[in-house]
Amino acid sequence: MIKNTVLEIRQVKKYFKDVKAVDGITINAVEGEFIALLGPNGAGKTTLLEMIEGIQYPDEGEILINGLGWKKHEKELRAILGISLQENHFIDRLTVREVTELFGSFYTLPIGRIDEVLDLVALTEKQGALTKNLSGGQKQRLALGIALLNNPKIILLDEPTTGLDPAARRNIWEILEKLKKDQGITMILTTHYMEEAEYLCERIIILDKGTILAEGSVHELLQQFDLSEKIVFVSDKTVTREMVPDNGLHALTQNENTYTLRIEDISSYLPSFLAAMKEYNIQYSSLECRKMTLDDLFLSLTGRSLND
Amino acid sequence: MTNLLRQYRQLFLAYVYEFFREPEVMLWTLLFPIAISWILGIAFSGERSQLVNVAWIQQQATTGSFVQKSFSVQSGHTLIKDSNNVSSSIILGSKSEGVIRYRFIPATPKTADVMMKKGEAILIVNDYPDSANFLFDPGNAAAHGAYLQISAALAGKPVQGVSVTKLDVKGLRYIDFFVPGLLAMGIMSSCMWGICFGMIERRSKKLLRRMVATPMKKSAFLASIVTARVILSIFESAVLYLFAWLYFGMQITGSIPALFLTIFAGNLCFAGIAIVLSSRTAKSEVGNGLINMVTLPMSICSGVFFSYHSFPDWIIPIIKAMPLTTLADSVRCIFLEGAGFMDVAPAIALLTGIGVITFSLGVKIFKWY
Ligand SMILES: Nc1ncnc2c1ncn2[C@@H]1O[C@H](COP(=O)(O)OP(=O)(O)OP(=O)(O)O)[C@@H](O)[C@H]1O
Ligand SMILES: [Mg+2]
């Protein structure tokens, strides 16, 4: 089945005085797709998202949503998008319900939609609380609820889980997964957390300095860059390439007394590696075997960590 | 249309709830004008027993003092040593003209100079055995008055054919002058701070940005803020008037509908100006500065606390052109002079005009993100 393209971003650029915030980005999203924009601070995620939201305008390039552009179809587009900004402050001294009703009044909503949304984001019990008294997770859920008021076909979320504890984060993930399953919604979110990108999105776009560094599913990305798995350990003795087995070894790197082996497959490599260590009588500590993550990928692409 | 109204209604309610849920702010905006009118009303009413300090330089103290001699001979009063054993006082005047105590503080030319500079004394007397010489700033009306009263007492001859009657009629007290001005100033600051602060806060917290990312009608948003503020400010005016009426027995002698329209127009005017001031910045410091730049000169010059007729002639037309002057004068006219609608119609038109023009300008240059 061929899915409709709902979002086309073509060669979009946005320069500020001294930074190229977004520097020629092209993305197509099909219906029902969840896309994560992953990148460090200042990568241009917010700028790109806000251009899609029609809050900022590209210097160059074109953005079409359902084939419509912002210049001529602002009104239609505002009605079908659901957005949540990176900074979410609502009016401090209004209650959750009042804020939801206020935003609800901007759309034409069926009766009962407010209750439905409050229920969806699990804020029904909190509907009488002033927004200034909400916890971080509740605030983010309120922002999400407001983004969902108009039953949007496309939602654009800017760091919807930043600053939340793992449980609260999972909470939001579950709401989003449910939307995907039940309504076939299309979503673009930005995040600093690779687990979030891996967990929620079938496509991950890694941004840095306004350009796309890499893109694909987690699996594809890791395959593409041939960085499947690794073993890390600490040793006071010098370990050289000759000492470790050669079957499926990509690289051995050393950082002070921490060594990293990049290998094809941990399960076949580990036994021979341990045997070799014994043979050379190398004492090791903090031995760690793991699959490569997007952070490793980012590190190898840019030499910097994602969360710097 | 119903859509627009629904948006307007929710935005309006949001603004009003926000106001009433901040008790401190509400208390300040309501109580401050009452407190200040109470204090000033008390301070400038009742028996005036004033004290005027005179720097008294006795040039040849051993040979004699013209001042001391003349007082006891001419007016039957004498300078009496104060309990501090340093200065001496004489009380001049009468009940009808007000009683003033003149305190003569012995001084040398040098200390007299310092006293003048510090504002401790407003008059210097060089006292010789057979004459006295006064030194004061001729631009200082109080000093001039003091000189006249002292010199008349020294001469001891009341002016023939002149008498004084005490004036204390409602409508002529300071409080009668002050309350209408305060009402006008209250409208100005309520609109300025009320609109600008909320707006700047919403902009800096990216709430405006979030709101315009919905199909919200911008006109509904702006209209809701202006109308909510106007209603709150009319409410504040009513509270202040209620106090002035109950406590000071202040009456409105003119047309109440005309007063209402004037106040309404004044609100529109300042709401429009507030929209312009808050149309671009996201920084509250900038907002503060802008508001002060506009309101401070008007608060000082527009005849809220004292009549602007004591300003130099050339500046009066400029003062009269200020919106706060227009508003304060019209409100005062209705309160005190029994003015009707026709008397204040030009002012209402002017204020409304300024409001409409500034509002449209503000909307044009308004920055939502
Ligand atoms: N209005 C602006 N004026 C000038 N520079 C800007 C403006 N907005 C963004 N930038 C710059 O553009 C770059 C990209 O910013 P952007 O907010 O899109 O990053 P981001 O990926 O969202 O970062 P973060 O993870 O910190 O939210 C940054 O260098 C930022 O300083
Ligand atoms: Mg951002």
Residue with tokens 């949540």: A84
Instruction: Say whether both B194 and B132 belong to one domain.
Output: no
Tokens of B263: 């106040």
Q: Could you list the residue range(s) of the whole structural domain that residue B268 is in?
A: 174-365
Map residue B356 onto helix, strand or coil: helix
Of residues A109, A105, A96, A54, the one with CA closest to residue B224 = A105
In DSSP terms, A157 is beta-bridged to: A84, A189
In a domain, B62, yes or no: yes
Global ipTM: 0.80
Question: Over 60: is that where the pLDDT of B49 sits?
Answer: no
Answer whether A5-90+150-222 and A228-291 agree in fold: no
Q: Which of residues 63 through 82 in chain A touch B, CB cutoff 8 A?
A: 75, 78-79, 81
Under 8 Å between Cβ of B243 and B330: no
Q: Which residue lies with its CA nearest to atom 17 of ligand 1? A: A46
Where does residue A61 fall: left (phi above 0), alpha (psi -120 to 50 degrees), or beta otherwise? left
Nearest to A107 among B207, B212, B215 (CB): B215
CATH domain A228-291 topology:
Alpha-Beta Plaits (3.30.70)
pLDDT tens digits along A183-205 = 889 999 999 888 888 889 999 99
Report CB contact under 8 Å: A105, B213.
no
Q: A285-291 and A229-234: which strand pairing?
A: antiparallel
Under 8 Å between Cβ of B157 and B75: no
pLDDT tens digits along B52-93 = 899 999 888 777 888 888 887 766 677 888 888 888 888 888
Predicted local distance difference test score (pLDDT) of residue B168: 62
pLDDT (mean) for B181-201: 91
Instruction: Say whether both B291 and B315 belong to one domain.
Output: yes
Instruction: Say whether both B241 and B359 belong to one domain.
Output: yes
CA A305 to CA B232: how far, in whole Å? 54
Instruction: Give the global pTM.
Output: 0.78
Tokens of A98: 């009042």
Tokens of A270: 């580990």
Predicted local distance difference test score (pLDDT) of residue B80: 83
Q: Which of residues 186 through 245 in chain B touch A, CB cutoff 8 A?
A: 202, 205-207, 209-216
- For residue A64, give the DSSP letter: E
Map residue A291 onto helix, strand or coil: strand
Of residues A62, A53, A45, A46, the one with CA closest to residue A11 = A62
Task: Choose the weakest-confidence range: A7-11, A116-120, B40-44.
Answer: B40-44
Predicted local distance difference test score (pLDDT) of residue A126: 94
Q: Which residue of B has its CA nearest to A86?
A: B206
pLDDT tens digits along A242-296 = 888 888 888 888 888 889 888 888 888 889 999 998 888 888 888 888 877 777 7
Ligand 1 neighbours, Cβ below 6 Å, are A 16, 19, 21, 39, 41-47, 86
Domain end residue (candidates: B119, B146, B166) = B166
Under 8 Å between Cβ of A165 and A137: yes
Q: Which atom of ligand 1 is nearest to the CA of A22?
A: 14
Report CB contact under 8 Å: A93, B213.
no
Band (A62; pLDDT cuts 50, 70, 90): very high
Instruction: Say whether both B248 and B145 belong to one domain.
Output: no
Under 8 Å between Cβ of B278 and B199: yes
pLDDT (mean) for A125-150: 94
Q: Where are the domains of chain A?
A: 5-90+150-222, 228-291
In a domain, B31, yes or no: no
Ligand 1 centre to CA of A20 (Å) is: 9
| Pure H helices in B91-217 | 109-118, 141-155, 174-204, 207-212
Distances (CA, A) of A259 to A8, A230, A285, A297: 44, 10, 11, 17
Q: Which residue lies with its CA nearest to atom 2 of ligand 1? A: A16
Instruction: Say whether both B228 and B337 belong to one domain.
Output: yes
Question: Over 60: is that where the pLDDT of A206 sits?
Answer: yes
Between vectors from CA A31 to CA A27 and to CA A35, what angle results, nearest 5°? 45
Domain count across chain B: 2
Looking at chain A, the number of H-run helices and the number of E-run strands are 10, 13
Report CB contact under 8 Å: A83, B213.
yes
CATH 1.10.3720.10 for domain A5-90+150-222: no
Q: Number of CB pairs < 8 Å for A and B?
A: 64
